[in-house]
Structure 1
Amino acid sequence: MATITELKCAVRETLESRGVLDQLKARIRAEVFSALEQNTQPLRPQLSHENLLINELIREYLEFNKYKYSASVLAAESGQPEVPLDRQFLASELKVAEDATSKSVPLLYSLLSHFVNSDDGERKVFLRGSSHPPGPSTSTHRPED
């Protein structure tokens, strides 16, 4: 029967040969640095209403396309609530009327489809800037009249 030392060596060699051991070490280092950094960083600013809606549109799209890891990272990094916003609430906030077909896909698809398939011809849609500027590091430009 193998001793514990032999078993440890066999497990270590197997993990090394698969490249898993180095990945685990790197992950542990990253988590340690993240934990240390987390204590020194200021708290995340409060999520604006607009960012909440935008993030929710993106999360719904990611989850629909089965990008579950991307969706979880978005929620964690943005401070988005863990429980997704209700679809009807989101549509109401965006002043969107839905039919049975549009309810089967994320709202982002429906919004894009509306603009791509719009029969306005050459007429451009005038977009307004945010009521809450993104911050000092980004600039906003007004379209020329």
Structure 2
Amino acid sequence: MATVTELKCAVRDTLESRGVLGQLKARIRAEVFSALDDQREARPPLSHENLLINELIREYLEFNRYRHTASVLTAESGQPDVALDRQFLANELKVTEDASSKSVPLLYGLMCHFVSSSDAGGKVFLQGASLPAAAPAGSTGPGPDA
């Protein structure tokens, strides 16, 4: 007769080999975050910018098979469970893709663009975007002369 320890090991190995153990751990983490999250403190609304940023991050995480991290991001951020359509995301970012860029997350293409950009001495001027309501007004950062 098998011992309790042997049964635990057998169940863990079976769940691991089926790819279920990681999913269960991620689900438990997400539920723990949800339980610990102070529900009395209202979350700021998910702005359009945050929705797009979270979606870029989710696409990157899923591409790299960081599915557990992606599930926690979705749970914590209030991001919709169903991912946004990639073409919609590309249109929102005003990005045009070629066939090769469609095989990797949009973040890779954006990173490649900015790393290889040689405009303005290799620097890209960023302007402050609309900030969530919790951020203090006027904290968009220094301007081009800083």
* Counterpart residue number, 1:108: 107
The number of equivalent residue pairs is 124
Q: CA deviation at 1:137?
A: 6.9
State the TM-score, normalized to the length of structure 1. Answer: 0.70
**TM-align CA RMSD:** 3.1
State the TM-score, normalized to the length of structure 2. Answer: 0.70
* Counterpart residue number, 1:143: 143
Distance 1:81 1:65 in 2: 20
Structure 1 segment 40-59 matched on structure 2, within 5 A: 40-59=39-58
Q: Which has the higher contact order (CA 8 A, sep 6+)?
A: 2
Tell me which stretches of 4 or more aligned residues in structure 1 moved more than 6 Å: none
- 1:76-105 per-residue CA deviation (whole Å, 9 max, x = no partner) reads 000000000000000000000001011010
The AA in structure 2 aligned to 1:68 is: R
Distance 2:83 2:41 in 1: 26
Q: CA deviation at 1:117?
A: 1.1
CA contact (8 A) 2:63 2:105 kept: yes
Whether 1:62 aligns to 2:61 is: yes
Paired-residue identity, %: 61
Distance 2:56 2:89 in 1: 8
Instruction: State which structure, 1 or 2, has the greater radius of gyration over its C-alpha atoms.
Output: 1
CA contact (8 A) 2:34 2:76 kept: no
Distance 1:97 1:69 in 2: 30
C-alpha distance 88-54 of structure 1, shift in aligned 2 (>3 A): same
Distance 1:40 1:134 in 2: 18
* Counterpart residue number, 2:16: none
Q: CA deviation at 1:123?
A: 4.5
Structure 1 segment 49-128 matched on structure 2, within 5 A: 49-120=48-119, 122-128=121-127
Distance 1:90 1:81 in 2: 14
* Counterpart residue number, 1:24: none
Q: CA deviation at 1:43?
A: 3.6
Q: CA deviation at 1:124?
A: 2.2
Partner of 1:122, secondary structure, is helix
